[in-house]
Chains A and B, each alone.
Chain A
Amino acid sequence: MVSYVSRLAGKTAPHFGRITPYNLLTYAPNLMLWGGAWWAGVFVFTEAWPKFQETFYQKIPLFGGHWINEIPPEDKIN
């Protein structure tokens, strides 16, 4: 029996849209930098949020004191 080659012996690389493992790897450093930039943006917009101030910003070495606001006990309302 004659066997015919009906198509090229090629495979499609795994991909999601245009993203393949290979180009994801080449983008990785840049994507990590974007991640850092994203965090900086989060910090900007949560600067006035008390929960974030307590957990992160008060612990910043040099100017963490900016977020510490002590009210003497006699001036507290509750």
Chain B
Amino acid sequence: MSFSTLYRVLFKRNSVFVGTVLASAFVFQASFDSAVTKWYETHNKGKLWKDVKLQLQEGGDDEDEDEDDE
């Protein structure tokens, strides 16, 4: 797409310009949030509740029994 069509389609009318900016802000919010959450969860893998819960379900009962024996 050449710059003149880009200019004509998106920037020429202020209403279209503002509308595009706000619509992409809406998409940006969601995707930015998803991206940050994804990064956070990979960075803290193994420490999050969903990972800890799986560990507890696998070996949680044994640990409790060990503690009772002592």
Contacts and interface: CB of A to CB of B under 8 A. Distances in A.
Contacts of A61: none
A37 B25 contact: no
B45 interface: no
Interface residues on B, range: 10 to 19
Given A36-B19, A40-B19, A30 B13 contact: yes
Given A66-B30, A66-B33, A66-B34, A44 B22 contact: yes
Contact of A33 (B19, B25, B31, B53): B19
Chain A interface mostly helix, strand, loop or mixed?
A: helix
Interface in B5-20: 13, 15-16, 18-19
Interface residues of A, number: 14
B15 A30 contact: yes
Contacts of A33: 13, 15-16, 19
B1 interface: no
A34 interface: yes
Interface of B: 13, 15-16, 18-19, 22-23, 25-27, 29-31, 33-34, 49, 53
